[in-house]
Amino acid sequence: METLLSAFAQASLFDLLAPSPPGWGGNLLRGLANSVQIALGAFGIGLLIGTAGAYGKLYGGPVVRDLMEVYTTVVRAVPELVLILLLYYAGTDLINRLLAAMGYAPVDISGLVAGIAVLGFVQGAYATEVIRGAILSIPQGQIEAACAYGMSPLKLLRRITLPAMLPFAIPGLANLWLIATKDTALLAVVGFNELTLATRQAAGTTKAYFTFFIAAGALYLLLTLFSNVIIGWIEKRARRGMPSVGGAN
């Protein structure tokens, strides 16, 4: 006991956060890499669902519109944690039942894939609203002109709608990206080894709670600030030729 205590007393900040095994820095960085990976995947899926959802809401038939409305309302009203649990259990269960019904052996769905799918589904609901609003902000004449040129719907989407809506959508999408990076922390609750869970394990083992939680907070904050720089570049490029917005940062 005596030696254990003195060992903790001697273990300095740098020893605890060292990247190689006696320190826990490596675990934290691996957790961060996992978090970023999930956030990127979820954001990508969210963008795809969001674009499709916005199109469904704007141009779909009455049934599609109502279904989209139900999707966005329910997903945005129920806590992410509940959705994650529900989709995590129900999704893996459903896939395995389908596989069993078709005569295949059940698969073990990796936490990474499940996390990306679940968070992507949640992000999709928010992205739908952001992109719908952005498409509505495009001057209608641009779309009419493209139609008059005889562009096919897909070409219209690729050449006009998506690039023209981007400046309007970027602030909302930037927010969504930051939410995605922070929502990955929720996967710690279902036991996926991302930054927050890695931090808790490190803190629980060494009892240096403050050191690790603040270190992890700093990593998340760095990710946010770094993202803000990138978002600034993208926004500048997407808004080229448009009047600058005062006070945007």
**Contact positions toward other proteins, by CB under 8 A?**
62-63, 66-67, 74, 76-83, 85-86, 89-90, 178, 182-186, 188-189, 196, 199-200, 203-204, 207, 209-210, 213-214, 216-217, 220-221, 224-225
Minimum CB–partner distance for residue 206 and other proteins (Å): 11
Instruction: Kindly tell me which of 136 and 222 has the beta carbon lying closer to other proteins.
Output: 222
Instruction: Kindly tell me which of 31 and 53 has the beta carbon lying closer to other proteins.
Output: 31
Minimum CB–partner distance for residue 119 and other proteins (Å): 13
Helices (H), the chain: 2-10, 13-16, 25-59, 62-77, 80-101, 111-137, 140-148, 153-156, 162-183, 195-206, 209-238
Instruction: Kindly tell me which of 76 and 159 has the beta carbon lying closer to other proteins.
Output: 76
Instruction: Kindly tell me which of 76 and 236 has the beta carbon lying closer to other proteins.
Output: 76
Instruction: Kindly tell me which of 183 and 235 has the beta carbon lying closer to other proteins.
Output: 183
CA–CA separation, 213 and 199 (whole Å): 6
Minimum CB–partner distance for residue 230 and other proteins (Å): 15
CA–CA separation, 25 and 202 (whole Å): 9
Minimum CB–partner distance for residue 60 and other proteins (Å): 12
Which of 18, 123, 129, 17 lies closest to 80, judged by CA?
123
CA–CA separation, 113 and 100 (whole Å): 20
Under 8 Å between Cβ of 79 and 85: no
Instruction: Kindly tell me which of 19 and 204 has the beta carbon lying closer to other proteins.
Output: 204
Minimum CB–partner distance for residue 198 and other proteins (Å): 11
CA distances from 3 to 8, 13, 23, 204 (A): 9, 19, 18, 19
Under 8 Å between Cβ of 215 and 28: yes
Instruction: Kindly tell me which of 163 and 204 has the beta carbon lying closer to other proteins.
Output: 204
Minimum CB–partner distance for residue 20 and other proteins (Å): 24
Under 8 Å between Cβ of 197 and 24: no
* Residues in Cβ contact with 176 at an 8 Å cutoff, skipping those fewer than 6 apart: 43, 46, 123, 126, 127, 130
Minimum CB–partner distance for residue 185 and other proteins (Å): 4
Token pair in block for residue 119: 């968070």
